[in-house]
Structure 1
Amino acid sequence: MRRFKKVVGIDVAKETVVASIYDGKEHKLMDLRNDPKSIEEELIRKKGLAKGETLIVMENTGTYHLRIACHLSEQLGYPVSIINPFVIKKFAERKLKRVKTDQVDAKLIAEYGMMEQEEIRIFRPKARACYEIDSIIKTIDGFQGQVNGLLSRIENMNNLPYKDKEAERSLKRAIGALNREIKKLEKRLEDIIDQNFKTEKEVLKKIPRVGSKLTAVVLGIFGRFENFERAKEVTSYIGICPSPYISGKSVRGSGRISKRGNAFIRKTLYVCALSASRYNKGCKELYERMIENGKRKRVALIAVANKLIRQIFGVLKNMREYDPDYHAKVVTFS
């Protein structure tokens, strides 16, 4: 039984959006500006879309969809769903669509939403602090990349037979300025986390090798995991879940991680896995067991990253203190 009478599929670009209002029989297309207020007035108000009867569906575009999704969900109270673009691509292939335009994509998104509305997950915006944390850690990461680039330039300059002293001083001043900005942002980051996630921060600190950076990244991207029910969904979102390549008896391709996910947190997790494989009891046991079984170190470290985010998910989702022997106790009890 259909829950919604209409589904609005929105194809989002940087400056414009195309909306398709679909009632299960026909589409009504609209070209709009990528502006929450414009969409509220032109699409929601003028078209008289009822809250309890309308589902709004859009693709995950990274950032371009977020202001619209949050405004429609938080300010106006409409049910909104954010769909992985890969899902829409496969849906188009199923329908044998060969043409790709913004209008076609908006129709596909609306049709997918109408067909899957009973299973589709409703978007819940993260807290404002999460978006602030996310923007700060990515700015710090960008600044650190610039610092590393400038240090490399100084090193290259030192290998020249002659160098300009003023150029070297200029590079050092730029590095100093960036480092000062990084320290300001780190202080701002710490303040926001203490004001909004003090309890969560203390819970995460108990997990060995989960430091301040990983804590900030997790809270900024996932919050309290409100939009995730299972750890498997989190590993899939990050792109560290295994993707076996097997067909029949003859095809046995080497499995690998999907990498269809958030590259920023995947990189951060991998770096933390290097340390967790030595000092986190559960991660260390997993790493050593995989190495003994002949797995390559990189494969074992990815498995450690997977386990580490599962530990984080377990304690943060349930707000339970980390227990390194939790699984052993569960097995013994059962």
Structure 2
Amino acid sequence: MESTGVYWEPLANHLHQAQQRVSVVNPLRIHGFAKSELARNKTDREDAARIARFCQLHAPYPWQPLPAERRKLRDLTRHLHAVRKARHQHRNRREGTPPEWLLQSLKRTIAHFDEEIELIWKEIQAHIDRHPELKRQRELLETIPAFGELTATLLLAELPNIERFASARQVAAFAGVTPKHRHSGSSVRGRTQMSKMGQARIRCALYMPAIVARTRNPIARAFADRLAERGKCKMVIIGAIMRKLLHMAYGVLKSGKPFDPQYV
């Protein structure tokens, strides 16, 4: 099945519990497969047949559900993000000169969001404390310079089991922080960009730490200086630091040891 919308995961969990083999595929792969077949029509029946042909040809890996404690952590952090986003939207509505009744209503709503954010964060903390492995992994992530408690928690919530990845490069590809090149012969010399074909929430969690790491993380600082000397622009450097930080996160989680700059 394709990983689209909010319905695929409950269905995948149900089929997995029923001892059925389930594969979950990025919809971009199915879309590319349809283009390769020169598909002219799009109906539910044809889409189902196309997905079946894709599975016969490519034999995608079987899907494994997240452990219950990881799934709850992910749901909590995503809910936290949604409430914080709603608070930000209501704060923006105070700009200009809203009528007094609206301003008071916004203040009450924002205060409610503040209380809810505090409650959700406390539940996240308590949930991690109840599960020693989650707590241990978050403490490992916090040893990386520029990673605070929130960043470590968000990464822990969005990354699947680290044993799923054979290398740090695979983790970077999963998050979509790998470079995308556009070179062909002598005529095409496109600018290298971040691929962004991966988990966007991980990229969001890494953006501010990458800016902080530019000055606080000695490995990232030296790496960024080398890129700047080669004429790379600011955003390319930030993207490269995001990838470097994710490599560090993979290293501490895979080894089970705190960050050590001597082994990077």
One fold, TM greater than 0.5?
yes
Alignment of 1:149-168 (within 5 A): 149-157=89-97, 164-168=99-103
Q: Please state if 1:91 is matched with 2:26.
A: no
Cα-to-partner distance string for 1:184-230 (whole Å, 9 max, x where unaligned):
00000111122221111111111111112222222212243244333
- 1:144 aligns with one of 67, 84, 95: 84
In structure 2, relative to structure 1, the CA distance for the partners of 1:148 and 1:314 (3 Å cut) is same
Q: Which residue of 2 aligns with 1:112?
A: 54
- The structure with the larger Rg is 1
Instruction: Name which structure has the greater RCO, CA cutoff 8 Å, separation 6+.
Output: 2
Whole-Å separation in 1 of the counterparts to 2:163 and 2:49: 29
Task: Give the structure with the higher percent helix.
Answer: 2
1:294 aligns with 2:231: yes
CA contact (8 A) 1:206 1:321 kept: yes
The residue correspondences of 1:56-95 to structure 2 (distance < 5 A) are: 58-73=1-16, 75-95=17-37
Q: Which structure features the higher share of strand residues?
A: 1
**Kindly, what percent of the aligned residue pairs are identical?**
32
C-alpha spacing 1:123/1:226, structure 2 compared with 1 (3 Å): farther
- State the Cα RMSD in Å: 1.8
Q: State the shift of 1:72 in Å.
A: 1.8
State how 1:257-272 maps to structure 2 within 5 Å: 257-272=194-209
Distance in 2, matches of 1:275 and 1:244, equals 27
What SS does the corresponding residue of 1:81 show, helix, strand or coil?
Answer: coil
- The correspondence of residues 1-334 of structure 1 with structure 2, limited to 5 A, is 58-73=1-16, 75-117=17-59, 120-157=60-97, 164-196=99-131, 197-327=134-264
Structure 1 residues 144 and 237, CA, compared in 2 at 3 Å: closer, same or farther? Answer: same
CA deviations over 1:295-323 (Å, ceiling 9, x no partner): 11111000000111111112113323221
User: Structure 2: which amino acid aligns with 1:288?
Assistant: D
Does structure 2 retain, via aligned residues, the 8 Å contact 1:124–1:227?
no
Matched position secondary structure for 1:154: coil
1:42 counterpart residue number: none
Structure 1: where are the runs of 5+ without partners? 1-57, 158-162, 328-334
Distance 1:247 1:153 in 2: 48
Structure 2's unaligned 5+ residue stretches are: none
Between the aligned partners of 1:256 and 1:126, the Cα distance in structure 2 is 31
Shift of residue 164 of structure 1?
A: 4.1
The one-letter code of the counterpart of 1:276 is A
CA distance, structure 1, for counterparts of residue 5 and residue 246 of structure 2: 21
Matched residue SS, 2:180: strand
Distance (Å, rounded) in 2 between the aligned partners of 1:71 and 1:231? 31
String of CA shifts for 1:123-179, please: whole Å, max 9, x gaps: 12111122222222222222222222222322422xxxxx64443222211111110
Measure, in 2, the Cα distance between the counterparts of 1:178 and 1:218: 23
